[in-house]
Amino acid sequence: MKRITPIAIFLIVLIAAGGSFVYFLEVPGGASTQVSASYNSTALIVLYANAQGWNYNSSHPNPTIYEKTHVLLEFKVIEQDNLPHTLTINPGPNESASSAIISVDIPAVTGTVVWANWSFSNSGVYTYWCEVHPETMVGLLIINSSQNSSVSANNSSADAPSAAGINCNCTFPISLEEQMLNGIHEEI
């Protein structure tokens, strides 16, 4: 009987250690990376996941994000409200999970960080949204291949859209294209 106790303790410790190992492999906020086509530079885009809107606590929730083709966009998504979310991106101005090029789950644990990386080789309008909260968590991602029609977010141009609410090295097109896009999304 005394011999069973050490064996039982050993088995319990072994099971607990194995369970911990599996948990840390699947820990919420673990790196979730999806990389696409080649890229020339990188840009960090920080989004806060809140059911009331991406970056809801900022002055510009659901920001329209501008970037160039062949830039690796590093999306850093931070859970903010203890609700489940996804970061889903697809081509076009509407949400469509069937054509999604990125879809990552964001665990419902405040402070959890999830990463998703993507480089766009084609210019155009893309939509990013949460599949759980598609009415309130939706924004546009405008990819522009032209390098001449953009200014850095760090420039203080009165014509440039505000970058408040996003933390990225984004570029903002100042062109006829932007004027046309104003009709698509009034937060530009």
Q: Are 186 and 62 in contact (CB under 8 A)?
A: no
Range of the domain at 56: 41-181
With bands split at pLDDT 50, 70 and 90, how would you rate the model's confidence at 117?
very high
Give residues with Cβ within 8 angstroms of 125, minimum separation 6. 91, 92, 93, 140, 141, 142, 143, 181, 184
Please check whether residue 136 lies inside any domain of the structure: yes
- Where on the phi/psi map is residue 157: left (φ > 0), alpha (ψ -120 to 50), or beta? beta
The CA distance from 125 to 144, in Å, is: 9
Q: Is residue 143 domain-resident?
A: yes
Are residues 170 and 86 in contact, defined by beta-carbon separation less than 8 angstroms?
A: no
**CA nearest to 170, candidates 59, 49, 54, 75:** 75
What is the SS3 assignment for 63-130? Answer: CCEEEECCEEEEEEEEECCCCCEEEEEEECCCCCHHHCCEEEEECCCCCCEEEEEEECCCCEEEEEEC
How far apart, in whole angstroms, are the C-alpha atoms of residue 32 and residue 28?
10
- Would you say residue 55 lies in a domain? yes
In a domain, 22, yes or no: no
Specify if 23 maps to a domain.
no
Is 15's pLDDT higher than 50?
A: yes
pLDDT tens digits for 45-104?
999 999 999 999 999 999 999 999 999 999 999 999 999 999 999 999 888 888 999 999
Mapping DSSP to helix (H, G, I), strand (E, B) and coil, where does residue 182 land? Answer: coil
Tell me whether residue 154 is in a domain.
yes
Question: Does any domain span residue 176?
Answer: yes
CATH for 110:
2.60.40.420
Strand partners, 88: 103, 129
What pTM was computed for the model? 0.60
- Number of Cβ within a 10 Å radius of residue 69: 18
- Strand 41-49 and strand 71-79: the pairing is parallel
Number of domains in the chain: 1
Asked if the structure places residue 187 within a domain, the reply is no
Q: pLDDT digit string (tens) for 119-134?
A: 999 999 999 999 999 9
